[in-house]
Amino acid sequence: MSPSIESYHRQADIGWCPGCGNFGILDALKKALVDVGLEPHQVMILSGIGQGPKLPHYLNCNALEGLHGREVAMVEAAKIAADDLVVIVHAGDGGAYGEGGNHLLHAIRRDVDLTLVVHDNKTYGLTKGQASPTTDYGLHTALQPRGLYARPLNPLSLAVSQGCTFVAQGLSARQEHLAGLIAAGIKHPGLALINALQPCVTWDKVHTYQFYEQHCYELDDAYDPEDQMAALELTMTTGDRIPLGVIHRAPGRPYDQAVLEGVDRPLRDRGVDPRAAIRLQDRFK
């Protein structure tokens, strides 16, 4: 039997504001999972703390929630314990690029086989709209009433320059397009970073649905995502046009597959002998 959107449905009280971009990302994810042919038991969502990271509460599949910003770090363990699971991380721009920025750098180096969907609403949504790493310079927030005195991080050029093997950008309001990017990320062997732009209807009155509709454009076939320098130039070009699509793609070399090479079974399928741990402990007495 092929999977259905309904099989991912989970009855729950939704904590997101009406009109939140997270709804579009949730719908796009469900569509991507079905399009790739995955059943809920084959999928694990990892998330941390935040509005975006509440997503697994509203989805029927395996889920693991950890600390804010530690989502990506948990994946290495999950993939080595159960390498047959498709692992998808949902993090906010705060969690992924702020608290978790260091973990992201090293996950890019290792090219761990995961799909990282960043709910980029350019704000710390859950904690009431403080500036996040992707907030624009000068933007006024509750905590920065005179405007923010720091430039925004550019996650796309960071990822491209560090050789991330799959870098894409989507928009929560273009669900079909975003679903295609998530599906491509799931199929990619290695780290797939998908920056999902989303309006925050409560805290950000600048980056509205209308703003994104006016400024976003979809990359066409004339663009070659395999050309890393072209991707870098695209992501470094400032201006009011925002590209959507696969920005960069290169062959993946996943760390978890290399670690498990020659190992007959992943950790999950090996017997657990608590006495072995005690014997090991005793050797150091």
Ligand X SMILES: Cc1ncc(C[n+]2csc(CCOP(=O)(O)OP(=O)(O)O)c2C)c(N)n1
User: Where does this chain bind ligand X (CB under 6 A)?
Assistant: 49-52, 68-69, 92-95, 99, 119, 121, 123-127, 132
For the CB of residue 50, give the shortest distance to ligand X in the complex, in Å: 3
Beta bridge partners of 136: none
Cβ neighbours for 37, distance < 8 A, ≥ 6 positions apart: 2, 3
The residue number with the shortest CB distance to ligand X is 92
Shortest Cβ distance from residue 200 to ligand X (Å)?
7
How many C-beta atoms surround the C-beta of residue 188 within 10 A?
A: 21
What are the two backbone dihedrals, phi and then psi, of residue 249, each rounded to the nearest 5 degrees? Answer: -145, 135
Q: Is 87 strand, coil or helix?
A: strand
Nearer to ligand X, 132 or 165 (CB): 132
Nearer to ligand X, 159 or 246 (CB): 159
| Nearer Cβ to ligand X (25/38) | 25
Three-state secondary structure call for residue 166: strand
Q: How far is CA 211 from the centre of its chain?
A: 23
Shortest Å distance, C-beta 209 to ligand X: 17
Q: Select 125 or 190, whichever has its Cβ closest to ligand X.
A: 125
Tokens of 164: 């991330």
Choose between 98 and 225: whose C-beta lies nearer to ligand X.
98
For residue 94, the 8-state DSSP code is: I
State the residue for tokens 């017997």: 271
Question: Given the complex with ligand X, which of 47 and 165 has the nearer CB atom?
Answer: 47
The residue among 24, 34, 78, 79 whose CA lies nearest residue 55 is 24
Q: What's the closest the beta carbon of residue 69 comes to ligand X, in angstroms?
A: 5
Starting from the edge strand earliest in sequence, which strands make up the sheet with 166-171, in order? 62-65, 43-47, 86-92, 115-120, 192-197, 166-171, 242-249, 216-218
- Residue 48 Cβ, how far from ligand X at the closest point, in Å? 7
As measured in angstroms, the least distance from the Cβ of 23 to ligand X is 13
Taking the complex as a whole, the smallest distance from the CB of residue 142 to ligand X amounts, in Å, to: 13
Contact of 149 with 227, CB cutoff 8 Å? no
Closest CA to 4 of 42, 45, 37: 37
